[in-house]
Structure 1
Amino acid sequence: MSLPPQKSAKDLAQDRERSSSLDKHRAAMFVLTQKDRPIPSLQEMKDDLAKDDLTSIKDRIVTAKTDHKSNLERMYAAHAEEYLDDQRLRRESREEYARQPDSSSRLAEWSEKRDPLSVDHHYLFALGTTITNERLRHTAHLYQLELTRKDIETRIDEERRRRDAQFPLSLAEFQAKPRDIQIRIATWLSADNIKKERMMNEFGWVWRQTKSLAWEYGTNEEFKTGILRLLETLDSRDPRKKPI
């Protein structure tokens, strides 16, 4: 059996162009036939709109990872199916040539005319290219989603810190504050006027914000007792304030 003739630079360039066109066609067909996604119901869309920003972006990250895994599985399956179909056609073509009276020369002709795009190494290269492109696409998409998640978390933390730093206007607001903020407020309530003024300047409080809770501290014995007990608990945990 004779070897296929050497190809010219022009022929090789045409092969590369055909290979590129085939890869683009394969990618387009994959999108059309494999990347279908179910259309969400009206209730699902309403539920999605009702989510807060952080929950929504976290769900999108989970969905992106799930879709990426599904895409890879479908890509491997699609390439395997295409490869097996091509192998079947090649086998049938070879068998047809082998049935001819002058089978030896026919097989040599078949070998020379065989489409270079159908050889095994092309499928391996095409599969590797497709998988690499999908992983790059997924990585870029996931990176943007993670950046968005980080921005949302940063914004939420800043909003929480600003909200927590505000002086509570009622007992309910005081009780809803984190413990460190409660201790800060308790310290202010039990302080003298000089220290109160210094703390107000430090934390950006104004007198009108403090009036309601200061009145509670001065008239509500239960609340005042709770404040003093909170500060005593803090003192008992500070070794610098324990008696020698």
Structure 2
Amino acid sequence: MSSSNLRQPDPAYKDRNGFREHSALLDKDHPDDVTLRNHRFAQYILTQKGHYLPSPDALRELGATKSQPVETIDSINEKIKDLQEQHVRDLENLFAFQAAEYRQEMRDHQACYDDSAYMDIDASYPDQVAFRDALEDLEKEMRQMGRFKRDMDDGLSMLRYTHLKTLTQLNAKRNALRIRESQARKDRDAQFPQTIEEYHQITDRDVELRVARFLTSTATEQEKMMDEFGWPYRYVQPLLTIYKSNVGPLSAIRLFMTISEQLGTFSGGIQR
């Protein structure tokens, strides 16, 4: 569908989330259309999306016994996947509901008894002419279905807005977690043991390998690693000095490096 065929937003509703004010009527000549539309759509939402509401005591008990799980990037990705799948089902249900509404309305119109064909309209009687014109206008309105099209567009817009609002919130949470994890990784990479005891206390194997690789590298490679991981010279100097002046206590580092390289740990270069 080309962009020219899409319903464009009205500039009058800018900064209002794309929706009309609740008091603005679509058709001033038929104000009840909005009320009927809202009632039908509310009944549809209650039928499709409604849930049993627990009692206040049950809610308090639920809140006291179950703690909120910690959100992670993986858990948010799963929520986004579930949300998108649910949105597809919601669209399918909405279109089926709207099609059934349209079909029923057309059947009701076809079942109406139109006696105008058996009437002799006398143009000299304004009431008869007005009656005939009203019937023609009704028939034209039913063929065009302008009100029904607006109802369909509004129902779809509200459903899409609710979906995108929830999706935006989940994306914001995921981005915040990614930034937090990235910063934590940078902080972890920037850490460097000051003594051999601190080196042996490292629990992260990647960090342990990285420090060992640094100590056994050439001066040029060490400079590159300091730039890459944000290690100031004053951070690496104490352990580097110990390593150079007293290889004996640090012989385990060389052995650790040899075994790691034999296993291919560093086959792809410096590992994070």
Please give the TM-score of this superposition, normalised by the length of structure 1: 0.61
Give 1:78 shift: 0.7
Aligned to 1:241: none
Question: 2: distance between equivalents of 1:116 and 1:129?
Answer: 22
Q: Could you say which residue in structure 1 is the equivalent of 2:36?
A: 22
User: What CA distance in whole angstroms lies between the structure 2 residues aligned with 1:115 and 1:216?
Assistant: 100
1:4 counterpart residue number? none
1:27–1:130 contact (8 Å) kept in structure 2: yes
User: What is the aligned residue count?
Assistant: 208
Q: Secondary structure of 2:119's match?
A: helix
Check if 1:187 corresponds to 2:211.
no
Instruction: Classify the secondary structure of the residue corresponding to 1:219.
Output: coil
Alpha-carbon distance in structure 2 between the residues aligned to 1:104 and 1:217: 114
Larger RCO of the pair (alpha carbons < 8 Å, separation 6+): 1
What is the Cα deviation at residue 157 of structure 1?
1.4
Structure 1 unaligned regions, length at least 5: 1-11, 239-244
Cα distance in 1 for residues equivalent to 2:212 and 2:76: 35
Q: Distance in 1 between matches of 2:49 and 2:85?
A: 12
Residue pairs, 1:85-234, within 5 angstroms: 85-94=104-113, 97=114, 104-105=118-119, 111=135, 114=138, 120-167=145-192, 169-171=198-200, 173=202, 176-177=205-206, 182-188=209-215, 202=232, 205=235, 218-219=248-249, 221-227=251-257
Distance in 2, Cα, partners of 1:83 & 1:71: 18
Moved more, 30-39 or 138-147: 30-39
Task: Note the alpha carbon deviations across 1:137-191, whole angstroms, 9 max, x for none.
Answer: 322322221121111111011112212322353447376125xx84455334778
**How much identity, in percent, do the aligned residues show?**
20
Paired amino acid for 2:154: T
Give the alignment's TM-score, normalised by structure 2.
Answer: 0.56
Q: Which runs of 5+ in 2 are unaligned?
A: 1-26, 54-61, 121-130
In the TM superposition, 1:32-43 aligns within 5 A as 32-36=46-50
Q: Distance in 2 between matches of 1:23 and 1:116?
A: 20
Give the C-alpha shift of residue 30 in structure 1: 2.2
Determine if the alignment matches structure 1 residue 13 to structure 2 residue 42. no
Aligned Cα RMSD in Å? 4.7
Task: Tell me which of 31, 46, 59 is aligned to 2:78.
Answer: 59
Greater helix percent: which structure? 1
